[in-house]
Amino acid sequence: MEAQENETSSLDEETSSLLNNGSSGEFERPSEFDENEDTRSELKFDRELESAAERKKRELIEQALSNNNSTLKTWQDLAIDPFGLVGDDLRRRIWPLLLEIDPNSLDETPLLAELTKHSEYDQVVLDVNRSLKRFPPGIPYKQRLALQDQLTVLILQVIIKYPHLRYYQGYHDVAITFLLVVGEQLGFSIMERLSTDHLRECMEPTMEKTSYRLTYIYPLLSKVDPQLYEFMERAMVGTMFALPWYLTWFGHSLNQYKDVVRLYDFFLATPPLMPLYVAASLVVERREQVFEEGCDMASIHCLLSQIPDNLDFEAILQRALIYYKNHPPNKLEGEVKKRVKKEAEQRKKEEIRMRRRLNRNNTLWVRFSNKMPSWLVFNYRSRYGLLFATATILLGYYAYYLKTTNSKQTFFGVIKVKKLQWVVPVQTMNYIKMLKAALAIAVFALVMQVNGDIDDHGPVEFPPKPNKDGATNDGSLNVGLLANEFVLAISLVVMYFM
């Protein structure tokens, strides 16, 4: 225990002074930081007097610290129970114990100048500069800059030591919380442990696994609140509202510092997927507000993205524990896989539909058709293609009938248009050519109409979009599309050589 106390006393002086004197002094942000201004609301570091219940909890924690028989389970229970670890002075001592980190074996901190050549350096610095409102207010300018440099070094130190890990935007929101509470050296050890465990999937080259994890929210909601689940499904809200919650342990979205560190107490003492259960619990907490927004995706997303300050987080956390106990991840895994598969199939169908539309709209014929009046039979945009095609077939049949019966009627004699002197008598025309032309035009119009209907309304289970040679990206042929083009070509050839 003495070693822990010595570690606490040797924490970075600037960090400790920021925490203890956050309200002292005036600080005016220089103009050069305007372009990197953080758009989030300012994180509030308001100090509140401890309640009687919190003072009692503090006594329990101090007794556990003085008891050599205290175990990891002891620290986990204290962090999970209401009020968490109460204060940052206790967090400095217990957070390392929750992750089984030895404060006496910490890595040396490199200089910032040694890290500037890293490929992620510019992005990290940009994000750190944008996080001004997450620092304690009113701190002296030089101390603020020193804290920013420490945060930059802490982040780069992790991703340099573990090259397979990829920095993501929001990682700095997690790192800054540990930096403010435990200092630079111990903060690195904590971030190192979390980056290779709790946050590992978030630090992969793609967000595929992160997106997969977010999918757990809906199967969980279907178990704990079916009405809310169905409502959000109808509104097609998705999971994007919960992405910053999961990536930053809510550090990016909360406005009260005390709420941030309380949640970190909880997450350090619980399994890695617990933030998803807290996310579901938070949505349930706001269910009435969600219903009031109506079944509108944008409105619900906007509502959930803004977390109010007056939520009862203790109730939210305790409810999340119940959810995890009754519906652990392994029991939700089957539904998650089905949901992910269904969503992937829907995306694939939509992509194919869009590809076919794009392919159709980029053809020479379509570009030519766009110049033609919409009423023309040859125009693929015409909704009367089948009508024109049918009329053309009937005219061809009528012409053939006149030839076989040796009728002397004029071509339009059946409808007796006698005043149109320009009508050409049928007996002066080549009936066979007339029939060929009619059939060619009919086939042409029918194919164009069917092709348009397939693209707009019909089945979408077609091979991928072909290239100029008719081959798809996977090497197969798009038989349906090539057949359409072949029939159109034959129709045009027949019409040309009649």
How does pLDDT run across 321-358, given as a tens digit for each residue?
999 999 999 999 999 999 999 988 888 888 888 877 77
pLDDT above 90 covers a percentage of the chain that reads: 49
What is the per-residue pLDDT across 409-421, written as a single tens digit (0 to 9) for each? 444 444 444 444 4
Only one residue has tokens 């111990």, namely 186
Q: How confident is the model at residue 16 (pLDDT cuts 50, 70, 90)?
A: very low
So where are the chain's domains?
2-200, 208-343, 363-497
Please give the average per-residue pLDDT across 243-262, as a whole number: 94
pLDDT of residue 352: 84
* Cα 419 from Cα 61, distance rounded (Å): 107
pLDDT of residue 416: 42
What is the per-residue pLDDT across 109-121, written as a single tens digit (0 to 9) for each? 778 777 888 888 9
Q: Which residues of 309-339 are buried (b: 16+ CB within 10 A; e: fewer)?
A: eeeebeebbbbbbebbeebebeebeebbeeb
Superfamily name with CATH number, domain 208-343: Ypt/Rab-GAP domain of gyp1p, domain 3 (1.10.472.80)
What is the per-residue pLDDT across 401-444, written as a single tens digit (0 to 9) for each? 666 665 544 444 444 444 444 444 444 445 556 656 666 665 66
Please give the average per-residue pLDDT across 307-321, as a whole number: 95
Beta bridge partners of 477: 471
Top-confidence residue, 484 or 339? 339
Does the structure show a pLDDT above 80 at 271?
Answer: yes
Residue 157: closest CA among 177, 181, 175: 175
Q: How confident is the model at residue 139 (pLDDT cuts 50, 70, 90)?
A: confident
* Cα 306 from Cα 39, distance rounded (Å): 13
- Containing 380, the helix (H) or strand (E) segment is none
Contact by Cβ (8 Å): 129, 149: no
DSSP assignment string, 202-224 = GGSSSSHHHHHHHTTHHHHHHHH
Please give the average per-residue pLDDT across 369-377, as a whole number: 55
Q: Please, is 6 exposed, middle or buried when counting C-beta atoms within 10 Å of its C-beta (0-12, 13-18, 19+)?
A: exposed
Q: Kindly report the pTM of this predicted structure.
A: 0.67
Which class would CATH give 2-200?
mainly alpha
Does the structure show a pLDDT above 70 at 95?
Answer: yes
Residue 17: closest CA among 153, 147, 155: 147
Contact by Cβ (8 Å): 177, 143: no
Only one residue has tokens 């957070």, namely 95
pLDDT of residue 383: 53
Residue 248: closest CA among 191, 171, 309: 171
